[in-house]
Structure 1
Amino acid sequence: MRAIVYQGPGTVAVRDVPPPRLESPGDALVRVDLAGICGTDLHVIAGDFAGIQPGAIIGHEFVGEVIAVGSAVTRFRIGDRVMSSDFTACGHCHWCDRGDHWECREKAFFGTGTSFGPSLAGAQAEIVRVPHADTTLGLLSKGCSDEAAILLGDNLATGWAAVERSGLLPGETVAIIGGGTVGQLAGLSAQAAGAGAVIVIEPSEARRAFARANGSLAASPEQAPALVARLTDGEGVDVVVEAVGNATALAAGFDLVRKRGRIISIGAHAAESWSFPLAKSFANELTLSFAIGDSIRLRPRLLSLITTGVLDPTVVVDRRIGFAGAAQAYADLKAQRIMKAVIDPRI
């Protein structure tokens, strides 16, 4: 079968690889109808995550059709159209029972090496093996498009997780640092949850324009402090969402948030440490949290928001390609010439 594989730092290629097979009674095989390219994939091919080897299939966002199931799979049958979380979870351990699937000891993250668990082949392929299929997969609902389902599996779940973790109250002000796909979807999620004002802080004018067109205010990093001060009478925003994944962006949040405000980081961090503003955080009673999207837990709620028209995450998709266009799409995403690409393996 064809798949997109990691070639070495910064490069990907389309290769013919052996198709996966069922390895456990809880596995399913899914024929991929649509896969996504995510900002996290840029970290993967840059070599930021451990254990990714040349030839590894990458990608962690997909929808498709079940073509085989193990003997222990009870929720799905051959022919079912399904969406997926970007990681697997067993569904029955202490953490899964609490709804904290990311903490599951059997977690594996599709196509990201061994940084987050055992290595698991990715989804930018014609067929993907899905461990713990009864938990990892969800039925594709009527009223939810393939593109919306792909975004629900990671980017939208991550954006919504920020809002959930922040405890956002109706009317509160939110600053989003980073106007990529996850940042924009965090902004849309905050709007859906009743934020009074959402400010997307982003260097790219094109991405600022996108934010404005979709209901947010927007500012460059240089303009942001003045805009925040004007909107909040100098107090600072109630919630900052850091959606970049580096120390500089995270540190900037501490200059924008009000006293007793909340900073939520949803960027994919690879650095081992950073300099924490301890005295300021203590004096101002700040809260810093980190959140990772868990579509297994959030699927029912987000599906309802999508199918009722409250949220349309597909506005971020600006390129649709076949395998042949993948390498260029990766390059364009890195250069911020596009926001979100989806791959149809059938093209």
Structure 2
Amino acid sequence: MQAVVFNLQEKSLGVAEKDIPKVENADEVLVKVAYAGVCGTDLHIIQGEFPIKKDGVTLGHEFSGVIVDIGTSVNMFKIGDHVVVDPNSGCQVCDFCHSGEPHFCETALSTVITGLFKDGGWAEYCLVPQHQIMKIPASITLEQAALCEPLSCLAHGWDKISPIPVGKNILITGAGIIGNLWVICLHLQGHRRVTISEPNPHRRNQLTQLDTGYDAITPDELKDRQGKGVLYDLIIDCSGFGPAIENALSLLNYGGKLCIFGVAPPHVKISISPYEIYLKELTIVSVKINPFTFPKALGLLEALGERYLNYDNLGIKTFSLFQYQEALDCLKKGTIAKAMFKI
């Protein structure tokens, strides 16, 4: 089979010919991959900014597919089922895992995440344990289901910043795919007073395709509005850009919340004012992956449907595995919101 493999030691990325994985353990499931997304985390990985298996691994932690083989103890799934794969799993032994917080599991962080430490979905086939897959309802296509993993992270973030009363003034910084997914989820839930700040003109124009009526502005326009006293009750940073995160605090209204959703490089630092946090009773919330939120993400996929999940409207472009470099280049240039391998 064909797979896109990254070797951290050699700092190399390329298509390789690999054997199709075989089901050897009783709880394993072999998935024929249909769609696999390229995440911002993948860009960090390729740039050497994120921990990963050093001697070569097939990337890809956002993917959907069809089961083609199962282990002897697998009884919840059958060959032919359409499924999504949750790449994250705890060790199931440590205090964090037993406390329902597997996303804090330090053992898993360095050993078991699919697409980082185990071969992932940028390939024709992927082998995963049954506890990391979920069956897709008939109303959800494999194409739509490939967005389940990022939506599961969003669902975790939604839980952490709730309640979000309708009528509040909301700002989203960054209109990549995560910003766009927040846009459609907020619109689905009835929010109308939403502004998106994005420096890239192509991405600002892309937002009009979503037909939400939200206001897409440049960071300079945001600064101008700030000078006129415009403040926000909730700011969701999807950029991972240090200066944008730092500035967001000064844009918050009294009692406001800042949700740090975008992943900044590890070396980035910001300066904040404890007095301002005290004075305004601000809340700063961070979001790390998706503990137990895949069912919620499937619910969001069903509710969003074709009205919101059209790839063209979201700025998602599909590529073959052999077009991996073109996909990465388009993402870096910002001419698309997301690259998706159609396999």
TM normalised by structure 2 equals 0.86
Separation (CA, whole Å) in 2 of partners of 1:157 and 1:31: 22
- Quick check: 290-299 or 280-289, which moved more? 290-299
Write out per-residue CA displacement over residues 288-307 of structure 1, whole angstroms, 9 at most, x where no aligned residue: 01113424242343133134
Instruction: Point out where structure 2 has 5 or more consecutive residues left out of the alignment.
Output: none
Question: Do the aligned partners of residues 22 and 245 (structure 1) sit closer, same or farther apart at CA in structure 2, a change above 3 Å counting?
Answer: farther
Equivalent runs, 1:252-271 vs 2, <5 Å: 252-271=247-266
* Aligned counterparts of 1:55 and 1:97: Cα–Cα separation in 2: 31
Is residue 2:309 matched to residue 1:312?
A: yes
What do you get for the CA RMSD once the two structures are aligned? 2.7
Residue 240 (structure 2) pairs with residue 245 (structure 1): yes
1: CA distance, partners of 2:174 / 2:333? 14
Other structure's SS at 2:58 match: coil
Residue 116 of structure 1 is matched in structure 2 by: none
Match of 1:195 among 191, 206, 220: 191
**C-alpha offsets along residues 280-337 of structure 1, whole Å, 9 cap, x if unaligned?**
2122211101113424242343133134x66426332532221221111111111212
Instruction: Describe the SS at the equivalent of 2:285.
Output: strand
Question: Taking structure 1 as reference, are residues 10 and 93 closer, same or farther at Cα in structure 2, changes over 3 Å only?
Answer: closer
User: Structure 1's 313 and 289: CA in aligned 2 closer, same or farther, altered over 3 A?
Assistant: farther
Aligned to 2:224: 226
Alignment match, 1:115? none
Query: How far apart are 1:49 and its partner, in Å?
Result: 0.7
Of residues 171, 174, 186, the one that matches 1:175 is 171
Hey, what's the Cα distance between the residues in 2 that align with 1:90 and 1:193?
35
Does the aligned pair in 2 maintain the 1:177–1:244 contact within 8 Å?
yes
Q: 1:28 to 1:281 in 2, by over 3 A?
A: same
Q: Distance in 1 between matches of 2:242 and 2:27?
A: 39
Could you tell me which residue of structure 1 aligns to residue 275 of structure 2?
279
Does 2:94 match 1:111? Answer: no
Query: Structure 1 pair 170/201, CA: closer, same or farther in 2 (3 Å)?
Result: same
> In the TM superposition, what whole-angstrom CA distance separates every residue of 1:170-196 from its partner, at most 9, and x where no partner exists?
111211111100011112112222223
CA distance in 1, matches of 2:155, 2:95: 24
Q: Deviations over 1:65-109 (max 9, x none)?
A: 112223333311122111122323578998678764534565733
Partner of 1:296: 294
Q: 1:30 to 1:126 in 2, by over 3 A?
A: same
| Aligned residue pairs, count | 332
What is the distance in 1 between the residues matched to 2:182 and 2:95?
29
CA offset digits 1:261-287 (Å, max 9, x no partner): 000011123315634412221222111
Structure 1 residues 299 and 97, CA gap change in structure 2 (3 angstroms): farther
Mapped contact 2:2–2:16 kept (Cα < 8 A): yes
Report if the CA contact (8 A) 1:162-1:186 is conserved. no
- Map 1:10-25 onto structure 2 (within 5 A): 12-22=13-23, 24-25=25-26
Counterpart selection for 1:164 from 159, 163, 173: 159
Larger deviation, residues 7-16 vs 331-340: 7-16
Please, which moves more after superposition, 296-305 or 120-129? 296-305
Q: TM-score, normalised by structure 1?
A: 0.85
Shift of 1:125: 0.6
